[in-house]
Chain A
Amino acid sequence: MTDSVQARRLQDGVVAERIDAETAKDNFTDLHPPLNHHESLVASDRCYFCYDAPCVTACPTGIDIPLFIREISTGNTLGAAKTIFEQNIMGGMCARVCPTETLCEQACVREAAEGKPVQIGLLQRFATDLAMKQEKQFFDRSPATGKTIAVVGAGPSGLACAHRLAIHGHDVTVFESRKKPGGLNEFGIAAYKAVDQFASHEVDYITAIGGIDIEYDQALGEDITLDQLKSSYDAVFLGMGLSGVNALGLNDDGAKGAVDAVDFIATLRQTSEMNSIPIGRRIVVIGGGMTAIDAAVQAKLLGAEEVAICYRRGQEHMNASPFEQELATSKGVTIRHWVQPTKLMANDGDVDAVELEYTELRDGKLVGTGTNLTLQADQVFSAIGQTFEDATNSKVELNKGRIKTDKNGSTSIAGIWAGGDCTDTGDDLTVTAVAQGRDAAEAINKALAG
């Protein structure tokens, strides 16, 4: 550690290079290093090849997990990759970001037997990494149908939908509001979960099938309208995710330093020199989900001295999985429960503290207790959820503030399907978005054929 880095380590305010470049590199390396060949054999041998396997039922995309693991165990790794991609073309990213501990690995019978599930996520990564490294494509396109489909959003649901439509011989144009594809895979996930530009490589792998054209800087409601798409294409799929964020809604005295955690996470993902990102000495993160964890852990990894996640309810209510919570605490993040922010306090316009009120459940309702707590903070990250901003010009029916869909992704308007987080059946998981995009593509294909 150089002297200047040493000096910045304990400096108040929001400053860059609290850690040196080498430490930054170490801190943001792969969270779960990949299995090597021998480890894959040992791990795959632990699979019991269950009948009607609970792990498959637990997977939103229904990957035939026992089969792909058996394929790995016999050295048929590409066969395993095909088994995965048949159900989930983003099997590579899902292997990295899925909360497997609450999905397939929780359902694994070895979890019941000994508390040590088969390492399904890592095995899935082992197989998909090999196929992607070899640029092995498993799917051929059916003869061209001449049908065109507009997909809004190049995130997990949009790309999964586009890929499946391309397989069926349709031509897809994806309209993406940003300058880069991938959606939350590219912008919304902690850097140590998808290192080495994985999200970007995955998009290349998916679009290599052909028939998928992505147009950037095309935001629905601004650059394009739903009416235009509906009249120009045979079908439309909406997979634009959630573009709004919930505001803390505090009296902030105009304090600077209240930061949207989603933006912070996106910035990290688009930065190669991590330690160039300015970070506070003391950080408070408001929220209890994965976004709060990702922001808090990365703040800590950037050299913040004290990072506290403040959540208004109890641990059992947190959306972040127990694994994620443990990851955060193991990195030195403090998680405080039963506190809600009431006020940001500023010094010369910059945040320097946040006032919180203790909360409790009274008759099933969350209420403030009237007792306050003040935490010093150079930055306050808001991670209290994202919202759907309706850019469809109110053409499609909403349910609970998101697009209403049926199990095939059909919306209230014929010819328009939707999937992923922007729908009322989305659950903020990449894997669910992929499943919905895929299934909507099948429904679209069926409708166009009919």
Chain B
Amino acid sequence: MADISNNFVGIKSPNPFWLASAPPTDKAYNVERAFEAGWGGVVWKTLGEEGPPIVNVNGPRYGAIWGADRRLLGLNNIELITDRDLYQNLREIKEVKMKWPDRAVVVSIMVPCEEGAWKAILPLVEETGADGIELNFGCPHGMSERGMGAAVGQVPEYIEMVTRWCKQTTRMPVIVKLTPNISDIRYPARAAKAGGADAVSLINTVSSIISVDLDSFAPQPTIDGKGSHGGYCGPAVKPIALNMVADIARDPETTGLPISGIGGITNWRDAAEFLALGAGNVQICTAAMTYGFKIVEEMITGLENWMDEKGHATLDDVIGRATPNVTDWQYLNLNYITKAKIDQDSCIKCGRCHIACEDTSHQAITSMVDGERRFEVIDAECVGCNLCVNVCPVENCITMEPLPAGSLDERTGEKVVKEYGNWTEHPNNPSAVAAE
């Protein structure tokens, strides 16, 4: 059986599945239920500075988009950091950590961007015996209006500065949680590293308006006729998160910087993809908020079974394995030529491939052959774009088949060459560098 125990910046947990800092980790009751269910760790919901507790809205905090069977695809929230008393949270963190020594307990923190504020709270957290801290530089709503959360995460200099304060003040590992609401995720990651961060975690939620009520003409969730932007999460944001994780994993300036992957992870497969792109572990929230804590059982057995099947003994055999295969467009092999192929036996003749290609792409799929309803690829027109594969409702009915070297590409009339050739050396590229 594969070993999925996890060591993330020295924080050990029996599996790589942590609950992200969010409502499911706001108090001991929930966290203990999570541990009983099998979660490897939690990042406790963000603590703020000492004083009167945070106030949340008293109307709806969440909005959602659904598939037709109300399968939740994306969630948006306007909840703030913990609205419970700081010392009650600290007491509970200490108790839970003592009771569950084999699980990871990391504490998320967000205080004003002043050195004193950070230096005041860190010893209090350290005293709980928590395994580490996560700096919340990601929250895009509410707190950002007060100069915290994403307001810090969007300014690399602030990230570096606050990270440094923390590293100077505490012995605990420091994980910097990044906001995706920036143009290039590598800059905040580099800043975190420069400040001495032990790791980054990403993504936090994406700024969003999830829907508009067409009767009241107000954004949802609607609070007394008004709505503000919230943070978007759930399955819909996973592609954004994967890309940002890969960006950091393959950035030479942050090479080796541990990454805790977050964003729409709903099952073991999603988690494995994050690990493959370079995440050292993963954090989950929306899936738990949708289905409850039991989902971790599927994640654990799914990951183990897949690793067994593929012969991966430990997480280290998986982590970062896909990172070298992420490259820039300019280095993709332009001599790799594929054509769509439709398996007529499994085709159910819905015609979606045809109309997608005919209306919006390359007119490379028939609708009639010899007077019969039949969908066939016209190789002389097919550019191998894969749209037909993506719109086909039948799994593996349409496949992209690479043309072997030496064969004729009927579209270009040229023979397929065996050699790798990319844009940087392509004759149509004005900046092409001639091959030496």
**Which residues of A are in contact with B by a Cβ distance under 8 Å?**
38, 41-42, 44-45, 48-54, 73, 109-110, 112-113
CA distance A54 to B355 in the complex (A): 14
Are the C-beta atoms of B367 and A109 separated by less than 8 Å?
no
CA distance A53 to B354 in the complex (A): 12
* In-complex Cβ contact of A42 among B68, B349, B352 (8 A): B68
- Which residues of chain A are within 8 angstroms of B350 by Cβ–Cβ distance? 48, 50-51, 109
Q: Tell which of A45, A51, A54 has the most Cβ of chain B within 10 Å.
A: A51
Expressed in whole angstroms, the minimum distance between the Cβ of B398 and any Cβ of chain A is: 14
Are the C-beta atoms of A54 and B69 separated by less than 8 Å?
no
Q: Contacts A52-B351, A112-B349: A42 and B69 contacting too (C-beta < 8 A)?
A: yes
- A sample of 5 cross-chain residue pairs with beta-carbon separation below 8 angstroms, ordered by A number, consists of A38-B70, A42-B68, A48-B393, A51-B352, A52-B367
CA distance A187 to B367 in the complex (A): 44
* In-complex Cβ contact of B349 among A41, A45, A49, A54 (8 A): A54
- Which residues of chain A are within 8 angstroms of B354 by Cβ–Cβ distance? 51
Are the C-beta atoms of A45 and B69 separated by less than 8 Å?
yes
CA distance A110 to B350 in the complex (A): 9
Are the C-beta atoms of B68 and A54 separated by less than 8 Å?
no
Are the C-beta atoms of B69 and A50 separated by less than 8 Å?
no
Q: How big is chain B's contact interface, by range? A: 10 to 19
- Which residues of chain B are within 8 angstroms of A53 by Cβ–Cβ distance? 351
Expressed in whole angstroms, the minimum distance between the Cβ of B358 and any Cβ of chain A is: 8
CA distance A42 to B68 in the complex (A): 6
- Which residues of chain A are within 8 angstroms of B348 by Cβ–Cβ distance? 109-110, 112-113
* In-complex Cβ contact of B68 among A50, A73, A110, A113 (8 A): A73
CA distance A49 to B356 in the complex (A): 11
CA distance A49 to B352 in the complex (A): 8
CA distance A52 to B368 in the complex (A): 11
CA distance A113 to B346 in the complex (A): 8
* Closest Cβ neighbor of A57 among chain B residues: B373
- Which residues of chain A are within 8 angstroms of B432 by Cβ–Cβ distance? none
Expressed in whole angstroms, the minimum distance between the Cβ of B54 and any Cβ of chain A is: 37
* Closest Cβ neighbor of A39 among chain B residues: B69
- Which residues of chain B are within 8 angstroms of A42 by Cβ–Cβ distance? 68-69
Are the C-beta atoms of B393 and A45 separated by less than 8 Å?
no
Are the C-beta atoms of B68 and A44 separated by less than 8 Å?
yes
- Which residues of chain B are within 8 angstroms of A49 by Cβ–Cβ distance? 352
CA distance A53 to B352 in the complex (A): 10
- Which residues of chain A are within 8 angstroms of B69 by Cβ–Cβ distance? 41-42, 45
* Closest Cβ neighbor of B214 among chain A residues: A75
- Which residues of chain B are within 8 angstroms of A48 by Cβ–Cβ distance? 350, 352, 393
CA distance A51 to B359 in the complex (A): 11
Chain B 56-75, CB-CB to A under 8 Å as 1, else 0, gives 00000000000111100000
Expressed in whole angstroms, the minimum distance between the Cβ of B389 and any Cβ of chain A is: 15
- Which residues of chain A are within 8 angstroms of B393 by Cβ–Cβ distance? 48, 113
* Closest Cβ neighbor of A110 among chain B residues: B348
Expressed in whole angstroms, the minimum distance between the Cβ of A173 and any Cβ of chain B is: 44
Q: Contacts A48-B393, A51-B354, A52-B367: A109 and B68 contacting too (C-beta < 8 A)?
A: no
Expressed in whole angstroms, the minimum distance between the Cβ of A39 and any Cβ of chain B is: 10
Q: Contacts A51-B354, A52-B367, A112-B348: A45 and B373 contacting too (C-beta < 8 A)?
A: no
- Which residues of chain A are within 8 angstroms of B367 by Cβ–Cβ distance? 51-52
Chain B 238-275, CB-CB to A under 8 Å as 1, else 0, gives 00000000000000000000000000000000000000
CA distance A73 to B394 in the complex (A): 21
* Closest Cβ neighbor of A38 among chain B residues: B70
CA distance A41 to B67 in the complex (A): 9
Are the C-beta atoms of B373 and A50 separated by less than 8 Å?
no
Are the C-beta atoms of B394 and A113 separated by less than 8 Å?
yes
CA distance A73 to B355 in the complex (A): 21
Expressed in whole angstroms, the minimum distance between the Cβ of A223 and any Cβ of chain B is: 50
A-B interface, 5 closest residue pairs, ranked by CB to CB distance from nearest: A51-B351, A45-B68, A51-B355, A109-B348, A50-B350
CA distance A155 to B31 in the complex (A): 68
- Which residues of chain A are within 8 angstroms of B373 by Cβ–Cβ distance? 52, 54
* Closest Cβ neighbor of B67 among chain A residues: A45
Expressed in whole angstroms, the minimum distance between the Cβ of A159 and any Cβ of chain B is: 34
Expressed in whole angstroms, the minimum distance between the Cβ of B364 and any Cβ of chain A is: 14
Chain B 330-363, CB-CB to A under 8 Å as 1, else 0, gives 0000000000000000001111101100000000
A sample of 13 more A-B contacts (CB under 8 A), given A48-B350, A52-B351, is A38-B70, A42-B69, A48-B352, A51-B350, A51-B354, A51-B355, A52-B367, A54-B349, A54-B373, A73-B68, A109-B348, A109-B350, A112-B349
Are the C-beta atoms of A109 and B349 separated by less than 8 Å?
yes
CA distance A52 to B358 in the complex (A): 13
* In-complex Cβ contact of A50 among B67, B70, B352, B394 (8 A): B352
- Which residues of chain A are within 8 angstroms of B351 by Cβ–Cβ distance? 50-53
* Closest Cβ neighbor of A49 among chain B residues: B352
Are the C-beta atoms of A41 and B68 separated by less than 8 Å?
yes
- Which residues of chain A are within 8 angstroms of B352 by Cβ–Cβ distance? 48-51
* Closest Cβ neighbor of A48 among chain B residues: B350
CA distance A52 to B394 in the complex (A): 18
Expressed in whole angstroms, the minimum distance between the Cβ of B143 and any Cβ of chain A is: 36
Expressed in whole angstroms, the minimum distance between the Cβ of A231 and any Cβ of chain B is: 48
CA distance A44 to B68 in the complex (A): 8
Expressed in whole angstroms, the minimum distance between the Cβ of A307 and any Cβ of chain B is: 39
* Closest Cβ neighbor of B392 among chain A residues: A48
* Closest Cβ neighbor of B349 among chain A residues: A109
CA distance A75 to B32 in the complex (A): 42
* Closest Cβ neighbor of A41 among chain B residues: B68
CA distance A54 to B393 in the complex (A): 16
Expressed in whole angstroms, the minimum distance between the Cβ of A78 and any Cβ of chain B is: 15
CA distance A49 to B355 in the complex (A): 10
* Closest Cβ neighbor of A107 among chain B residues: B349
Expressed in whole angstroms, the minimum distance between the Cβ of A76 and any Cβ of chain B is: 12
- Which residues of chain B are within 8 angstroms of A38 by Cβ–Cβ distance? 70
* Closest Cβ neighbor of A54 among chain B residues: B349
Q: Tell which of B348, B350, B352, B393 has the most Cβ of chain A within 10 Å.
A: B350
- Which residues of chain B are within 8 angstroms of A113 by Cβ–Cβ distance? 348, 393-394
CA distance A28 to B367 in the complex (A): 46
Expressed in whole angstroms, the minimum distance between the Cβ of B351 and any Cβ of chain A is: 3
CA distance A196 to B20 in the complex (A): 55
* Closest Cβ neighbor of B394 among chain A residues: A113
* Closest Cβ neighbor of B391 among chain A residues: A48
* Closest Cβ neighbor of B397 among chain A residues: A113
In B73-102, which residues have CB < 8 Å from any A CB? none
* Closest Cβ neighbor of B354 among chain A residues: A51
* Closest Cβ neighbor of B353 among chain A residues: A51
CA distance A38 to B69 in the complex (A): 8
